Chains A and B, each alone.
Chain A
Amino acid sequence: MLADLSHDEASRQAYAATLRGYTMRVLDDANAVICDQVVAPEVASCGLAGRDADRAVIAGMEARDEHRLWQVFSQTWQDLIWHYCMDSVDRQLPSLVDRFRQIDADAKGTLTLDPGLPLPRYQTAADNHRFPGSYYTETCDDDVRQGAVLDRAAHTYMGNQLGGEIHDRRGHTLISHVRERFPHLKTERILDIGCQNGASTVPWARLYPDADVHAIDTAAPVLRYAHARSESLGATVHYAQQDAEHTDFPDGFFDLVVSHVMLHETTHPALRTIFHECHRLLRPGGVMAHLEVPFRQELMTPWTKVKSAREGRYNQEPFWIGLTGADLVGIAEAAGFVEARMGFQSTVSSGIDAPRGFVPVSDGKSDLSNWFVVSAVKA
């Protein structure tokens, strides 16, 4: 289902990845030194601490030319990746839509759309990750464009770090977490919430072939693409257009509810509502497990705090700072869960027979060698 690349399209995407690498290597490194060794000590010497100090460090950095260059470069490579991927997808969109229709005609999995579903405000207010059109914009009948762009971009954006062209490593990593923490969990019904184009749903369906795997998202174009993509990879998934805050599944229907880098695109109140909904959906003894970006405010240096502020404001991930600082164990307990724990799980390419790799937050690394995870049990 993946959109193909002409010679020049492949070259442009390789350039965007090279420009991203240059920004992260050369400009990042210089800004880290300036921030941690010059600006942050100046702020500390003025007697500021906590959020006041964080804001003063940002203001101090934004006054500097090296930092403005870093901002412009960061913004530009992000924009270019989207544009280059959209160029490829738009060129072949009619054939991708045809392919979706052909696959849908004799699919094993299902796709249930609800065109009247209201979109959450946190999706419509601004396009997360500066992704033009976000997940939900439709450009034609049976549109798969936004899902196709995301699939193409995941590879350009992250190279092989998400697991090659299938980029299923986040799903495998969460599978290894669940198998490590809950080795005896019965898994007949699994739900993936905020599944986007199904990149992390597919490994669940492949590794649990006897389970019914359901996946929901609020956006139709990514669900259509997920449906066709999963079928073409031989994974059977039941996709539905639903809001994770209020689904229409019955109480206690699932043994396991999971999500992958989805919670940071919600809000404080939505996060609480989603955890309550997970609790309602699980049978007693069922488990929820959420994988998130491998960053925590308590592990951050002044420079990584500046970077996370950039994600929040300029890359339009407004809940990034909130989620990476949230007491997710406390929020899970408030929703009725027990045995709630958060920490970092080592990244793996296969969730089956993975070495043990769940460590406390304090032992986490702020890179893609691990992912943040929170998991809990319904009593």
Chain B
Amino acid sequence: MTTMAEENVYDKMRARVPKGERPTFFADPSIDRLWWVMLAMLGEVTTLRDRLDAHERLASRHGLYTAADVDAFEPTPDEAQARAEQRERLVERTLRSITIEVEAARRAGSSGQARVQESDEPPVGRAAR
């Protein structure tokens, strides 16, 4: 048992990094980190695209706009729907190589597994990574 007083000395990292294991899944942990950065970057790109969308819509609606206009922009239900569809398409585009890879593996089923497995050993006892 730990008391609140001992546990709650505030550290900025404490409020941002979960306490516990920091697992990685690929043989080289750099690959995990690259994926993390890649997916966060994808988040920034989708956010920029949304923001540009706001600018474009505001421009056509009013003929002029400011940064404050964009901060206050809220899509109508129809515009939000259009935006959601654009976002889906952007995610699909950016992740296409993975979609193709896993779809190929899914369709191949048991017959096509040699392509993605390192060996013919049964999974029992194989190193996890």
A124-145 interface code vs B (CB 8 A; 1 in, 0 out): 1111001111101111100001
Q: B47 contacts which of A12, A45, A137 (Cβ < 8 Å)?
A: A12
Contact A15 B43 (CB under 8 A): yes
CA distance A303 to B114 in the complex (A): 20
Instruction: Tell me which residues across on chain B come within 8 A of A38, comparing CB atoms.
Output: 109-110, 113
Instruction: Tell me which residues across on chain A come within 8 A of B21, comparing CB atoms.
Output: 126, 313-314, 316
Contact B123 A8 (CB under 8 A): no
User: Which residues between 101 and 124 of chain B lie within 8 Å of chain A, taking CB atoms?
Assistant: 101-103, 105-106, 109-110, 113, 116-118, 122-124
B23 contacts the other chain (CB 8 A): yes
Contact B39 A76 (CB under 8 A): yes
CA distance A2 to B17 in the complex (A): 23
Contact B117 A138 (CB under 8 A): no
How many cross-chain pairs have Cβ atoms below 8 Å apart between A and B? 204
Contact A86 B4 (CB under 8 A): no
A63 contacts the other chain (CB 8 A): yes
User: Which residues between 32 and 55 of chain A lie within 8 Å of chain B, taking CB atoms?
Assistant: 33-34, 37-39, 41-43, 45-46, 48
Instruction: Tell me which residues across on chain B come within 8 A of A48, comparing CB atoms.
Output: 124
Residue in B closest to A220 when the chains form the complex, CB atoms: B4
User: Which residues between 29 and 45 of chain B lie within 8 Å of chain A, taking CB atoms?
Assistant: 32, 35-36, 39-40, 42-43
Number of interface residues of B (CB under 8 A): 62
B60 contacts the other chain (CB 8 A): no
B56 contacts the other chain (CB 8 A): no
Q: Which of B71, B95, B103, B127 has the most CB of A within 10 A?
A: B95
B76 contacts the other chain (CB 8 A): no
CA distance A69 to B19 in the complex (A): 23
User: Taking A7-B71, A126-B18, A127-B19 as contacts, is the C-beta distance between A64 and B117 under 8 angstroms?
Assistant: yes
Q: A127 contacts which of B1, B20, B35 (Cβ < 8 Å)?
A: B20
Instruction: Tell me which residues across on chain A come within 8 A of B25, comparing CB atoms.
Output: 62, 67-68, 71-72, 75
CA distance A338 to B102 in the complex (A): 50
Residue in A closest to B12 when the chains form the complex, CB atoms: A139
User: Taking A7-B50, A37-B109, A38-B113 as contacts, is the C-beta distance between A72 and B32 under 8 angstroms?
Assistant: yes
User: Taking A11-B51, A60-B126 as contacts, is the C-beta distance between A33 and B116 under 8 angstroms?
Assistant: no
A116 contacts the other chain (CB 8 A): yes
Instruction: Tell me which residues across on chain A come within 8 A of B32, comparing CB atoms.
Output: 72
Residue in A closest to B110 when the chains form the complex, CB atoms: A38
Q: A56 contacts which of B7, B118, B124 (Cβ < 8 Å)?
A: B124
CA distance A240 to B83 in the complex (A): 43
Residue in B closest to A29 when the chains form the complex, CB atoms: B106
User: Interface on chain A toward B: helix, strand, loop, or mixed SS?
Assistant: helix
Q: Which of B18, B47, B113 has the most CB of A within 10 A?
A: B18
Contact B123 A56 (CB under 8 A): yes
In the complex, identify which listed stretch (A19-27, A100-108, A256-264, A367-375) lies at the interface while the others stay far away: A19-27
Q: Which of A31, A46, A72, A220 has the most CB of B within 10 A?
A: A72
Give min CB distance, A224 to chain B, whole Å: 13
Seen from chain B, the residues whose Cβ lies within 8 Å of a Cβ on chain A are 1-5, 7-8, 10, 14-21, 23, 25-26, 32, 35-36, 39-40, 42-43, 46-47, 50-51, 54, 70-73, 84, 87-88, 91-92, 95, 98-99, 101-103, 105-106, 109-110, 113, 116-118, 122-129
Known: A8-B47, A48-B124. 8 other contacts (CB 8 A): A26-B99, A30-B106, A46-B124, A60-B124, A63-B128, A86-B15, A124-B2, A127-B20
- Supply 28 A–B pairs (Cβ within 8 Å), ascending by A: A6-B71, A7-B54, A12-B47, A18-B46, A19-B91, A22-B91, A26-B102, A42-B123, A43-B124, A45-B122, A46-B124, A56-B123, A60-B124, A63-B127, A63-B129, A66-B101, A68-B26, A73-B35, A73-B39, A118-B1, A118-B2, A119-B1, A119-B7, A132-B19, A133-B14, A139-B10, A313-B23, A314-B23
Seen from chain A, the residues whose Cβ lies within 8 Å of a Cβ on chain B are 6-8, 11-12, 14-16, 18-19, 22, 26-27, 29-31, 33-34, 37-39, 41-43, 45-46, 48, 56-69, 71-73, 75-77, 79-80, 82-84, 86, 115-121, 124-127, 130-134, 136-140, 145, 220, 313-314, 316
